[in-house]
Each structure stands twice: as C-alpha cells, then as structure tokens.
Copies of this chain bind each other. A is one copy, B any other.
Amino acid sequence: MTTEIFKAKPKINLKHGVVEMNHGAGGRATHQLVEQLFMPAFDNPWLAQAQDQASFQVEPSRLVMTTDSHVISPLFFPGGDIGSLAVYGTINDIAMAGAKPLYLSASFILEEGFALRELQKIVLSMAKAAREAHVAVITGDTKVVEKGKGDGVFITTTGIGAVPQHVNITHKLSPEDKIILSGFIGDHGIAVMSQRQNLQFNTDLISDSAPLHELTKTMFEAVPHLNCLRDPTRGGLAGTLNEWANHYDVGFFIDENAIPVRDAVRGACELLGLDPLYVANEGKLVTVCSASDAEKVLIAMKAHPLGKQAAVIGEVIADSNCFVQMKTIFGGTRIVDWLTGDQLPRIC
C-alpha cells in the first residue's frame, strides 16, 4: 500500500457523472461532492470553516429568519432556474421584513441519477445570485433519495437578515390606506407554465425572479413606516390580499384598471383559463401605507429599476367580511376570493 493510493483525491465526473446514493452517505463520495462542487461555487470564509455549522458575529439587532423549500418544475425556465430562485425567494422574504439579507443556508435533496452537470449549473447559478446580492451561502447539507422518490433536485434555503433601526412595519391597517404594487403581475407563473411538458406555448415572457432588498431599502429610506409588505408569490396578488384582509380584519377595494398586466400574460391566462391575480410572482412586492405617505413611497419605488411600473392599485376599506373587492375593467364590482384548487402546481 502506497501513500498515493490513499492520498489520491479522485475527481468526480462533472461532465458525465450522475448523483449516486453514496453521494448522500456521509463517506468519501459525499466529501468529494462537497469539496469539488459546492465549496468552489460558494467559496466564502464561513463555508471554509468546513464544519456542520457556520459561525458569525452579530451586533445587537433585530434579526429575521425565513425558510423556503423550492420544488419548481421544470428546474430551468426563461429568466431563471431553481438555483437563483431559491436565493432570491429567501432574500425577498427577508426584504419583506425591511431587513438587509446577511446569510443563507442551502440544503439539497437530490434524486439518484440526476446529472452532476445539471447540479453544477444550478449551484453556480445560486452562487452567482448570492454574490450579486451580497449575501453568502455559509452552510449547507446534501441528501440523496432513490430514483422515483424525488424529482431531480429540491432546494431549501433559509436566510438571516438584520432590520435597520429606522425600519418600522406597523402591521396596522386603516380605511383609506393605499395599496401599492411594484409592477406587472403574473410573469413568473406564466413563464414557468410555458415550459411545462404537454403545455409548451410560444411566448417571449421571462420570469420576473429578482432580489427585492435594494428596492425595499429605497422605500424605507423614503418612508420608514409602512403598514405591511409582502411579495405575492404562490397564490398571487389575490392570495396576499386575502391573507392580509383576514389577518388585519379589514377589506380591500382594488381597481383592475390600475393593476399592471402584460399583454402576453393576459393572453396566456385567457388561453389557460387562469386569472393573473392568482398567478405567482417572484420579483414583485405589494405594500400598504398611509394615504399621506403614498406619493413618497411611489416616487421612491419608481426611481428603482424593479419598481418602474409601481402603481397605487386600491385602498383599505372597513369590512367585517374581510372581502377583497375589485372594480373590474368593465366598471362592475366583483369579489376576489382566495385561490381554491391548484391552478399552477410547483411554481416555486
């Protein structure tokens, strides 16, 4: 037995190799996957600690923690992939607390047989998204399940952020407060649907998947007090408004004419029998603020590239039924209920 045999660190075959059960077994194969695929991609001093946890120093502060599993299908779609989506999704949930995203963890559930080439593409996309947003993926985990017990790759990202002193989300809604939406709705959901097998249709639409923390920073610099703030992902704008109406015990009255919807999304929704109000977004936010602050918030949002199409879309009303009502394009009024059923499975 020579030193070389034992010290040699065989390369994993990123070009033609696939995920094998032993990549999840905690032995040499797991170690190789981590050292040769994950570590070089995420490259940062916390990950280099090479422990089962990462440590970092914090000043006294209000922190937020958020987690999301990503099971989107297909894994790659116009405007993004599960990797960048997993980073932006968690950044956005942090940003919606008015917080600055700091650290992410990433946990992978891989299906046996998944191409390592694809996995690397996803991991590099995650790393790029994190780097560009100035957050670090500081710790992670990899598990492998048998073929037919997963679906390529699921990614769970958890994030930590710090809320600046001046930020205040009041969580109080009153009649006449204004609802402001940051831009076109439905782009993400429709872009993903356009790629589904046995559903592919032609569209130039790309997902709006993007990190919103710089937009929210701008908003809180303009107006430190917002009443509530959310990114309308699964369940769409209608889902967020209904959840708020129930939680804060108010009603909403929105104006369909004021809600930005691209023609391509409107067209695809008609084709598919969907309503853009229920379609997922991954780079949009909706906020409620006092009527007196609305102009300031709107100006701040429009000055940011991700808020150019921001618009006041309605207001809070007193309503013990907690209904979301909408003045339609045709001038009538209808109730926008919760999504029942699942229009768009596995959209994030």
Interface residues of A (CB under 8 A from B): 3, 6-7, 20-22, 24-31, 50-71, 93-94, 96-97, 99, 103, 105-109, 138-146, 148-151, 154, 156, 158, 160-161, 163, 230-231, 233-236, 239, 242-243, 246-247, 278, 280, 320-323, 335, 337-346
A–B complex contacts, Cβ < 8 Å, 28 sampled: A6-B323, A20-B342, A22-B341, A24-B346, A25-B341, A26-B234, A26-B236, A26-B239, A27-B234, A28-B339, A29-B340, A29-B342, A53-B97, A55-B97, A57-B60, A57-B61, A65-B105, A66-B105, A67-B107, A68-B107, A69-B141, A71-B143, A71-B145, A109-B109, A109-B154, A109-B156, A145-B151, A146-B345
> CA A307 – CA B236 in complex, angstroms?
51
CB distance from A95 to the nearest CB of B (A): 9
Nearest neighbor of A152 in chain B, beta-carbon distance? B149
Nearest neighbor of A233 in chain B, beta-carbon distance? B26
Nearest neighbor of A149 in chain B, beta-carbon distance? B151
Q: A27-B278, A67-B139 are in contact. List 8 more A-B contacts (CB 8 A).
A: A27-B338, A27-B342, A29-B340, A31-B338, A53-B64, A54-B66, A56-B62, A69-B107
> CA A344 – CA B25 in complex, angstroms?
7
The secondary structure that dominates the A interface is: mixed
> CA A142 – CA B252 in complex, angstroms?
27
Cβ 8 A contact of A145, one of B55, B140, B340, B346: B346
Query: Are B243 and A67 interface neighbours, CB within 8 A?
Result: no
> Inside 8 A of A154's CB, which chain B residues have their CB?
109, 143, 145, 154
Query: Are A140 and B67 interface neighbours, CB within 8 A?
Result: yes
The answer to whether A67 and B321 touch (CB under 8 A), given A52-B93, A163-B55, A278-B27, is no
> CA A247 – CA B64 in complex, angstroms?
33
> CA A60 – CA B320 in complex, angstroms?
44
Cβ 8 A contact of A31, one of B51, B71, B243: B243
> CA A143 – CA B345 in complex, angstroms?
10
CB distance from A153 to the nearest CB of B (A): 11
CB distance from A68 to the nearest CB of B (A): 5
CB distance from A226 to the nearest CB of B (A): 13
> Inside 8 A of A231's CB, which chain B residues have their CB?
52
Cβ 8 A contact of A27, one of B51, B161, B339: B339
